[in-house]
Amino acid sequence: MSAPERRRPGGFTRRGVLAMTSLAGVAAAGAVGGDAAASALGGERAREIGRRRVPFDGPHQAGVLAPPAAHGWFAAFDLRPGADRAQVATLLRRWTGEARRLTAGEPVPGDDAMATGYGASSLTITVGFGASLLRRLGAPVPGELQPIPPFPHDDLDEGRGDGDLGVLFTAGDAIVVAHALRTLTRSARGTASVRWQMTGFNPADGVTAERGSTSRNLMGQLDGTGNPRPGDPGFDAHVLVGPGGDPAWMRGGSYLVFRRIRMLLDTWDTLPRERQEQVIGRRKDTGAPLSGGTEFTPLDLDRQNPDGGLAIGPGAHVRQASPASNSGATILRKGYSYFDGYRADGAPDAGLLFMAFQRDPRDGFTRIQQRLALADELSRFLSHESSALFAVPPGAGPHGYLGQGLLDGL
């Protein structure tokens, strides 16, 4: 039999109370007219999204543990020739101060007014350091930042990978994200410039029938069901650098792997739904594993069909990606879909901006991807086109700045 179903936490939340209050107002407004009531509900939802704030200061950078957002943008920066340690420290102090204000919904000095009237919209700004930055600063490069090895099905564009600095922006509104990127780009002039930048999206709040439900990727599959959650047994040990970690400036931080993964959607679409489900190992409509249950029922990798075959096949994605198949390797995924139009051959240029936080990529992403590249049936429908790896230092205190432990120690 399958293990007991894992349930989502229940109870009332501030968001739930706001939603119920809004709905009650709509019901009471019936005499005014359905259209007006619906408009009022939409306006209240938009205001609620704008009012949400994710605190910037804390032991970990907020974007590591923040819940999924509707918009995820990633930008990599390279230092200008001749930029030294003092200039990098100045830049990080400036970025930290700007991020504090932006995530609180406040303007920064010299603001361009792009987001005037907009709220914080759950904005997070997460900064990471590439191995190339550490070498420029003369700092030792930790083993966790050793290059990710090549894998089958890789078709990497070096111009859209790596970088001295990596910055992840997430928020509930695209204008808020664009404004934050523009702000940090302007303040970096003379010290660093954008190497590459990509934009992704998730369902906007209120689009899915149930708030907090798992989003779908462009293959139509529920994506992220098995993601670990803060508070799960062993979560911190898998995702965050512990108090005894080396180097000391990374304690409380994490390592971020970024991959741009193009989905071969036209080829995928030729498969009947039953075959797609076998490739993934889950039902397409509910996300339930083929071993039975509902979306959050744990996988039963030993379950057999009446004909004696495995319910979740040997090459199914969920089998090959599971911790049970990878010596317990666990990563915290942050995925955003992208759709950049059509290529010259007529195929969609679309897929997933894949991001994964972990304590050590060698025991996390690399271990898992080595298996997926060789044994995962889904790999035939994917092409990895961009790759980057960053050390994400811990968060900052109210009077500190991101990366202070590194810069002060040089």
The candidate with the shortest Cα–Cα distance to 261, out of 132, 357, 136, 350, is 350
Query: Of these residues, 223, 300, 360, 363, which one is catalytic?
Result: 223
Q: At 273, give phi and psi (nearest 5°).
A: -55, -40
Q: Give how far Cα 256 sits from Cα of 144, 168, 357, Å.
A: 10, 10, 5
Q: How many CB atoms lie within 10 A of CB 198?
A: 17
* Residue 331 burial (10 A CB sphere; 0-12, 13-18, 19+): buried
Strand, coil or helix: 94: helix
Pairwise CA distance, residues 180 & 60, whole Å? 20
The residues, ordered by sequence, that sit 6+ positions from 97 with a Cβ below 8 Å of its Cβ are: 108, 401
Cα angle for residues 341, 344, 347 (degrees, 5° grid): 60
Task: Check: CB of residue 323 under 8 Å from CB of residue 329.
Answer: yes
| Residue 283 tokens, joined | 């039902």
Asked about 307 being catalytic, the answer comes back as: no
The set of catalytic residues is 223
